[in-house]
Chains A and B, each alone.
Chain A
Amino acid sequence: MKGIEIFFKTLIKDKVDHIFSPPNSFGPQIDRIFDKKFKNLVKNVISGNEQGASHMADGYARVTGKPGVVVCDSDTSGTNTITGLQTANMDSAPIVVFVCHFSENDKLSNVFNQIDHIGISRSTTKHNFLVENISELSRIIREALYLSITGRPGAILVDIPKHVLFSEYKFNFPKIEKVSGYSIPKEAKISDVNKAASLIMKAKRPIVFGGGGIIISGATKELQNFANRLKIPVTLTLMGLGGYPPNDPMRVSWIGMHGSYFANKAVHDSDLVISIGARFDDRSTGGVFEKFAPKAKVIHIDIDPSTINKNIQVHCPILGDAKAVIKQLLKKIPLNFKPDKNERKSWFDKIKSWERENPTIAIQKGKMIKTSYAISLLSKITKGKAVVVTDVGQHQMWVAQYYDFQNPRNQITSGGLGTMGFGFPAAIGARFGRKKDAVLAICGDGSFQMNMQEFSTAVANNLDLKIVLINNGHHGMVRQWQTLFFDKNYSCCKFDMNPDYIKVAQSYGAKAFKIDSPFDLESSLKEGLSTKGVVLMEIVVDHTEMVYPMLTPGGTMDDMLLDPSDPIPEGPVPDMA
């Protein structure tokens, strides 16, 4: 059997049902074989561009938990996936990019199209492979898929030279039980669990700080049991949204640079932070790590040892899988243990009183639509149950604030790398992965232009996909920082030449309409969301609206700007990115 047949056969046998690739990525030689033998066994989604394909695979991976597979050519096809690899890798999304060579590619000969993909992808992947011999092809494919979804999931690249693709070998499907030098933490050490349990039983003002790990590990139910039994409030990071239901009595919104006032306050004031599957990123802690939760002891539960003690010095590190460790803790803490009623009541009362000081409510004022209000309407109309894929910027933060995600794997966003242009292609991938639920791409106009060629994929596949395009004519978050910290010097943030997005969408064959009045907003959104097919809803919004609350740069988590009248603190200008 030819290497290329082994390649497709192994993928299909390993339950890969979607392959995302740019046009003609298989090359004419492979297309013939693919069309003849495999076309009906796996869906080949053809993207406009390879970056698009990699984000599609990412969106698919995040909604399903299965590896998102990209197949591309060895030229710029491969280099265009680098952003997608790093985006996925930073957010622990399992994608595997296969780079197939179609010209004999001696690594030293500088032939046409030659690129050292192993070299350039080294720092953007969890691991990468060069297949040197056809005898190891199926093993490496299986290992790549296995590595992508196990442990802390991540991005993998596999480089397959031409001589491997076109030589002959018998098909085999080796078992992957163990990869050399790779171990997957599951249950935690008993001594660590004991230490954590005693800290939890002693705490007066504990709080769970839940990250994306809860979703990846599927620990929502266990965490609900844990929090409700021990009466511990649960707040989430950006990546954790959807990992804990918003209407659960223990839920305390979300934390971070634009997290809720009361959630940030609660973390700052707590005496025990129980972090589960979060990595204390600067965007979720304020970035001044030594001032993080100064009164608290910190328990850090994570599957990746390199995140522990990286940003925050923790008192009780626990290496393990979130779900397994929560179960261990529940077992360890005696069933008859009850936290002190008065202590807990005063802790929850305190959080409630902060919430009253600054609740999360979107208010529509003035003639221009406020984005925050539009997002809160979308949440209401879809009952918080849609898969919402965002781009990066102000709208991303408003989605986090005002969309009440009911279910895990429904909030898809580029948190770690902040990849503008991620939203639209990732929503297409999410659509392929999630056939039943509504899928919404919410994009800013700045981000949207970075990958809007993917209309071709959405329309060609006749997808039922709604795009909410927030048009404020600016890079809104840049403008916000220029307003707050750079003397309103609005440089390079305004779009002098925004295209007519309605015409753009229509030219690809999508449906499109514009909303610019707050009075029509709700009815227009309802109409758009119930229209079948690819529908672009362009909402023209007030570009002066800013995202609040905002952690004061260099300050602590209880130090927030709450509205435009708040004075900007003196001191050095912070890093935006």
Chain B
Amino acid sequence: MRHVISILVDNEPGVLARIAGLFTARGFNIESLCVAETEKKSLSRLTLVTSGDDWIIEQIIKRFENMINVIKVDDFKETESLQRELLIARVTPTSKTRSEVLRVADIFRAKVVDVGTKSYALEITGSKDKLEAFVEILRPLGLKEINRTGLISLKREKN
């Protein structure tokens, strides 16, 4: 099962290596990883997407919690948290597909962030599914390359 694990850590060198090292040591794959400072400069938040059965995830989380410099670990279920990812795509359309690309961008609420004589760069945010659908539609329209930030998440307010 896919898990989005959110880890609050001290903003210190070596913390990221320690967390990533645990994954390599156990032979698990990280689907995506995103790190940045939080509202407090001394803390960073790591959002990590991985998959594995519940027992494995429980072990990983306990190991994280055991690490010094790790303040808090959350295993987010999809319904409990906001999850967003940003993607930038470069598309080189032919004269025939040029308007189609812009229409797709419009439908997906993507923004054109760079225009050249041959290509567009499009920026889009959303869930993983939305981004993947976007990429699949652009593929036959002259998709050249993409770059993604990986997922970030924030806990939803409880009702």
Indicate if A43 sits at the interface (CB-CB under 8 A).
no
- A163 contacts the other chain (CB 8 A): no
Contact A306 B17 (CB under 8 A): no
Cβ–Cβ contact A122 & B18, under 8 A: yes
Cβ of A180 to closest chain B Cβ, rounded Å: 5
Q: Is the CB of B67 within 8 A of A181?
A: yes
Asked if A310 contacts B68 (CB within 8 A), the reply is no
Contacts of B105 in A (CB 8 A): none
Task: Say if the beta carbon of B52 comes within 8 Å of chain A.
Answer: no
Which chain B residue shows the least CB distance to A143?
B68
**A-B CB proximity, top 8 nearest:** A306-B62, A127-B68, A181-B69, A182-B68, A181-B70, A181-B71, A306-B66, A305-B62
Q: Which of B9, B18, B25 has the most CB of A within 10 A?
A: B18
- Cα-based distance from A250 to B44 in the complex (angstroms): 51
How many A-B Cβ pairs are below 8 Å? 42
A85 adjacent to chain B (CB < 8 Å) = no
Q: Contacts A127-B68, A180-B69, A304-B66 known; A119 to B17 CB distance under 8 Å?
A: yes
Please give the number of chain A residues whose Cβ is less than 8 angstroms from any Cβ of chain B in the complex: 20
Across the interface, name the chain B residue whose C-beta is closest to A126: B68
Residue of A nearest to B59 (CB): A310
Which residues of B are interface residues toward A (Cβ below 8 A)?
A: 9-10, 13-14, 17-18, 21, 25, 55, 58-59, 62-63, 65-71
Name which residue of chain A comes closest to B67, CB basis. Answer: A181
Q: Which residue of B lies closest to A123 (CB)?
A: B25
Beta-carbon contact of A118 and B14 below 8 Å? yes
| Cα A119 to Cα B66 with chains together (Å) | 19
**B71-A180 in contact (CB<8A):** yes
> Would you call A130 and B59 a contact (CB within 8 A)?
no
Does A442 make an interface contact (CB < 8 A)? no
Least Cβ distance of B40 to chain A in Å? 12
**Would you call B68 and A181 a contact (CB within 8 A)?**
yes
Which chain B residue lies CB-closest to A122?
B21
Known: A305-B65, A306-B66, A308-B62. 10 other contacts (CB 8 A): A122-B21, A123-B25, A127-B68, A147-B68, A180-B68, A181-B9, A181-B67, A306-B59, A309-B55, A310-B62
Contact flags A172-197 to B (C-beta < 8 A → 1, else 0): 00000001111000000000000000
Contact (Cβ within 8 A) B71 A123: no
* Minimum Cβ distance to chain B for residue A144 (Å): 10
Cα A120 to Cα B69 in complex, Å, equals 19
Interface residues of A in 99-156 (CB under 8 A from B): 118-119, 122-123, 126-128, 130, 132, 147
- In whole angstroms, what is the CA distance A118 to B10 when docked? 17
Residues of B within 8 A of A118 (CB): 14
